[in-house]
């Protein structure tokens, strides 16, 4: 055990974690040159396309030092985007140390801070890694000072390196061995293994990534999932090198995978403890804090025959991603679907894209919303995440919305526009500190304003330099108006949204205009109306059109006519019929972009 080092790599997005992981694998010979495809660890198609890491990955490599001692280095690559911070804390719980990667051309950013504090709370040894020193504008000295000033940790053991060229990586490995403690635990105690992650493999069933905290796990052992008391036989165990490698046993201090023929996706929950059936441990390990989704939206299959596939796919995805929440929802406009909870908009986008791509489900999503705390006149308090379920105004005593505390780091030259943006978003400043090259700002802002496109707007007013990290703070009373949309006098529940009262009439008008733009003309007039608390505040009409797609090809040949008719039919497939009006899929999400 004294030659094992378990560590995570944490950083702000794009500072080079994945590149560093690849370089470590290469130096330690985990893969041949030929096997090193562009970026090894970001294995999901989506990750490659977007160039970001979504799932944490674990890899064990061997390193021989100058004295010929062999060390097992076990590292977990983690995602850097604010929506995936949950993955970071899970990965950290399997480690004794963390490499804090900071881009030497950029410096410390909000997410670097947030992740570093999570690691400090878990008492991990931190090694600052000043990356990208090959770039001409790199300033590792300045960044090293920022780490001390802004994060408040010593950077005495910081390593300067370039993950791209490999400079300094050898020193980094020596430091990992020197500074990160070896795992503790008792090899002869009953087995306690923490499930860090689980995912579903179509051939093997559930695969779990585990960290053995005490004892030894053997292939063919009979194990017990401690939360349910259910027993399973271990089929296979092993490690990732990063190739999947089978082993006969995994012992105290090691991180590896286990397959035990579990077919039910809820049977191996993340954060649970595995022990052996013969000699069970007395206590479960303390698992993970249950993470709460921040935004909710309805997802509905375009065609109802995909409902079962959709349900099954959500089950499989949620095993892999415990921050994904879902429950059945029925909409008069969109039929049967699910109300889903996500950590943020990017998370929602990724889940939707995975459902569409990996499971070929065509989906319509409704506008996302946060959770509101509502105090009714009868004293009851309810929490609502669906605008269409909002009680009537005369039943409500107070509505409270979630407020988040935002930590923003920004270079001083962009301070003005950033403050202006925070004020526009109904922000309240609670702190402002000047550091050498950056200002750290603290604002309390309604979550509703933050989760939509605040992050993108912040990036745009600061030329990409400002960084953001946020946390739920409390509920605060607010005046909210419910906007309903009626199409030919029929209320479309999936288009109902909630808005801050001062912006409500403007938003209602904008939605009506947008619908007019997006809904194609039909063979009859279509009336679009918006109401606030049941009184009409905006209306518009889409004039009728007698459209004959064949009119252009008088006397033409029959196959061309067929083609045009087919095209018209295909166009209709991407629409949803409300009453007798076809509404395009994009209309449901378009209201998002009206702020
Ligand atoms: P996420 O997975 O999205 O959180 O990002 P990441 O931190 O894993 O960053 P990634 O490794 O994908 O690197 C981001 C970009 O920086 C890529 O274009 C890399 O090629 C580049 N990069 C990483 N390390 C270095 C380095 O040492 N020098 C130079 N010049 N570029 C680097």
pLDDT tens sequence across 261-303: 787 767 777 788 999 999 999 988 876 666 778 889 999 998 8
- 493 labelled binding-site residue: no
Query: How far does residue 54's CA lie from ligand 1's centre (Å)?
Result: 15
Distance CA 518, CA 512 (A): 10
Q: Pocket of ligand 1, candidates 10, 11, 18, 129: which has the most ligand atoms within 8 Å of its Cβ, to mutate? A: 18
- 253 labelled binding-site residue: no
- Of 28-32, 74-78, 456-460, 510-514, the one with minimum mean pLDDT is 28-32
Check residue 340 and report its DSSP letter. E
- 16 labelled binding-site residue: yes
Q: Is the dihedral of CA 309, 310, 316, 317 positive or negative?
A: positive
What is the secondary structure of 570-585 as a DSSP string? Answer: HHHHTEEEETTEEEEH
Residue whose CA is at the smallest distance from ligand 1 atom 29 = 132
Q: Where are the beta strands (DSSP E) in 32-96?
A: 57-64, 70-77
Looking from the CA of residue 135, the nearest atom of ligand 1 is 30
Note the pLDDT of residue 364. Answer: 87
Average pLDDT of the segment spanning 47-71 = 68
Residues lining ligand 1, judged by CB closer than 6 Å? 11, 13-19, 51-53, 79-80, 131-132, 134-135, 162-164
Residue whose CA is at the smallest distance from ligand 1 atom 5 = 14
Summarised one tens digit per residue, pLDDT across range 168-201 is 999 999 999 999 999 999 999 999 999 888 777 7
- 222 labelled binding-site residue: no
Average pLDDT of the segment spanning 516-535 = 88
- Are the C-beta atoms of residues 369 and 334 closer than 8 Å to each other? no
Summarised one tens digit per residue, pLDDT across range 200-230 is 777 778 888 899 999 999 998 999 999 888 9
Query: How far does residue 20's CA lie from ligand 1's centre (Å)?
Result: 8
- 132 labelled binding-site residue: yes
Summarised one tens digit per residue, pLDDT across range 414-440 is 999 999 999 999 999 999 999 878 899
- Are the C-beta atoms of residues 161 and 45 closer than 8 Å to each other? no
Note the pLDDT of residue 17. Answer: 85
- 15 labelled binding-site residue: yes
Query: How far does residue 322's CA lie from ligand 1's centre (Å)?
Result: 27
Looking from the CA of residue 11, the nearest atom of ligand 1 is 7
Confidence class for position 575, pLDDT limits 50, 70, 90: low
Looking from the CA of residue 163, the nearest atom of ligand 1 is 27
List, as own/partner pairs, every contact residues 285-292 make where C-beta atoms lie below 8 angstroms and the sequence separation is at least 24, other chains included.
285/192, 285/194, 285/213, 287/194, 288/89, 288/90, 288/93, 289/89, 291/86, 291/322, 291/323, 291/343, 292/341, 292/472
Note the pLDDT of residue 546. Answer: 60
Percent pLDDT > 90 in the chain is 37
Summarised one tens digit per residue, pLDDT across range 358-379 is 889 988 888 888 999 999 999 9
Greatest distance between any 2 Cα atoms in the chain: 88
Summarised one tens digit per residue, pLDDT across range 334-343 is 889 999 998 8
Residue whose CA is at the smallest distance from ligand 1 atom 10 = 16
Residue whose CA is at the smallest distance from ligand 1 atom 3 = 52
On the question of pLDDT at 22 being above 60, the answer is yes
Query: How far does residue 4's CA lie from ligand 1's centre (Å)?
Result: 27
On the question of pLDDT at 483 being above 70, the answer is yes
Note the pLDDT of residue 566. Answer: 66
Looking from the CA of residue 22, the nearest atom of ligand 1 is 11
Average pLDDT of the segment spanning 518-540 = 89
Q: Is 152 left (phi over 0), alpha (psi -120 to 50) or beta?
A: left
Cα–Cα distances in Å, from 396 out to 480, 515, 533?
11, 30, 12
Summarised one tens digit per residue, pLDDT across range 239-270 is 887 777 899 999 999 999 999 878 776 777 77
Backbone angles phi, psi at 341, to 5 degrees: -110, 135
Confidence class for position 551, pLDDT limits 50, 70, 90: low
On the question of pLDDT at 592 being above 80, the answer is no
Distance CA 2, CA 190 (A): 20
Query: How far does residue 41's CA lie from ligand 1's centre (Å)?
Result: 13
Confidence class for position 99, pLDDT limits 50, 70, 90: very high
Residue whose CA is at the smallest distance from ligand 1 atom 23 = 16
Q: Kindly report the average pLDDT of the chain as a whole number.
A: 84
pTM of the model: 0.68
Percent pLDDT > 70 in the chain is 86
Residue whose CA is at the smallest distance from ligand 1 atom 1 = 52
- 131 labelled binding-site residue: yes
Note the pLDDT of residue 48. Answer: 46
Query: How far does residue 7's CA lie from ligand 1's centre (Å)?
Result: 19
Helix (H, G, I), strand (E, B) or coil at 204: coil
Query: How far does residue 354's CA lie from ligand 1's centre (Å)?
Result: 24
- 398 labelled binding-site residue: no
Confidence class for position 552, pLDDT limits 50, 70, 90: low
Helix (H, G, I), strand (E, B) or coil at 417: helix
Average pLDDT of the segment spanning 137-148 = 92
Residue whose CA is at the smallest distance from ligand 1 atom 14 = 14
């Amino acid at each position: 055990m004294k030659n094992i080092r378990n560590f995570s790599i944490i950083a702000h997005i794009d500072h080079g974690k994945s590149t560093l992981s690849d370089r470590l694998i290469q130096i330690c010979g985990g893969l041949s040159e030929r096997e090193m495809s562009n970026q090894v660890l970001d294995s999901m198609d989506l990750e490659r396309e977007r160039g970001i890491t979504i799932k944490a990955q674990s890899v064990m490599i061997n390193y021989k030092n100058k004295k010929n001692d062999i060390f097992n280095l076990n590292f977990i690559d983690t995602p850097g985007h604010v929506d995936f911070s949950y993955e970071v804390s899970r990965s950290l719980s399997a480690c004794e140390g963390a490499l804090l990667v900071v881009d030497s051309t950029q410096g410390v950013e909000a997410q670097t801070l947030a992740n570093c504090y999570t690691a400090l709370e878990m008492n991990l040894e931190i090694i600052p890694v000043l990356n990208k020193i090959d770039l001409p504008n790199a300033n590792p000295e300045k960044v090293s000072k920022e780490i001390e000033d802004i994060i408040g940790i010593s950077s005495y053991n910081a390593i300067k390196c370039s993950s791209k060229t490999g400079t300094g990586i050898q020193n980094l490995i020596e430091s990992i061995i020197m500074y990160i403690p070896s795992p503790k635990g008792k090899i002869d105690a009953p087995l306690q293994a923490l499930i860090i992650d689980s995912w579903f493999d179509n051939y093997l069933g559930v695969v779990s990534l585990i960290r053995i905290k005490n004892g030894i796990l053997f292939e063919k052992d009979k194990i017990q999932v401690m939360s349910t008391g259910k027993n399973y036989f271990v089929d296979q165990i092993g490690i990732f090198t990063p190739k999947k490698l089978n082993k006969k046993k995994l012992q105290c201090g090691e991180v590896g995978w286990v397959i035990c023929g579990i077919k039910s996706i809820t049977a191996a929950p993340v954060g649970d403890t595995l022990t052996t059936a013969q000699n069970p441990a007395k206590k479960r390990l303390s698992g993970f804090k249950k993470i709460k989704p921040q935004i909710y939206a309805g997802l509905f299959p375009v065609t109802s025959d995909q409902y079962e596939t959709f349900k099954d796919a959500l089950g499989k995805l949620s095993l892999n991603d415990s921050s994904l929440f879902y429950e059945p929802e029925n909409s008069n406009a969109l039929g049967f679907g699910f109300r889903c909870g996500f950590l943020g908009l990017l998370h929602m986008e990724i889940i939707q894209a995975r459902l569409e791509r990996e499971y070929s489900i065509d989906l319509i999503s409704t506008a996302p919303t946060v959770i509101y705390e509502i105090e009714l006149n009868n004293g009851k308090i309810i929490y609502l995440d669906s605008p269409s379920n909002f009680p009537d105004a005369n039943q409500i005593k107070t509505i409270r919305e979630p407020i988040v505390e935002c930590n923003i780091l920004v270079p001083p030259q962009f301070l003005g526009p950033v403050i202006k943006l925070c004020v526009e978003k109904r922000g309240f400043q609670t702190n402002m500190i000047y550091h050498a090259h950056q200002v750290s700002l603290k604002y309390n802002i309604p979550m509703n304003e933050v989760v939509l496109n605040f992050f993108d707007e912040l990036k745009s007013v600061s030329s990409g330099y400002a960084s953001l990290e946020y946390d739920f703070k409390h509920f605060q009373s607010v005046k909210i108006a419910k906007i309903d949309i009626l199409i030919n006098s029929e209320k479309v529940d999936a288009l109902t949204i909630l808005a801050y009262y001062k912006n409500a009439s403007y938003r209602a008008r904008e939605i009506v205009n947008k619908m007019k733009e997006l809904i194609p003309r039909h063979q009859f007039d279509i009336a679009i109306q918006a109401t606030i608390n049941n009184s009409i505040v905006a209306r518009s009409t889409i004039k009728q059109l007698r459209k004959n797609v064949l009119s252009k090809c008088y006397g033409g040949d029959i196959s061309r006519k067929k083609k045009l008719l087919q095209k018209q039919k295909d166009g209709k497939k991407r629409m949803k019929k409300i009453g007798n009006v076809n509404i395009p899929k994009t209309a449901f999400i378009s209201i998002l972009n009206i702020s």
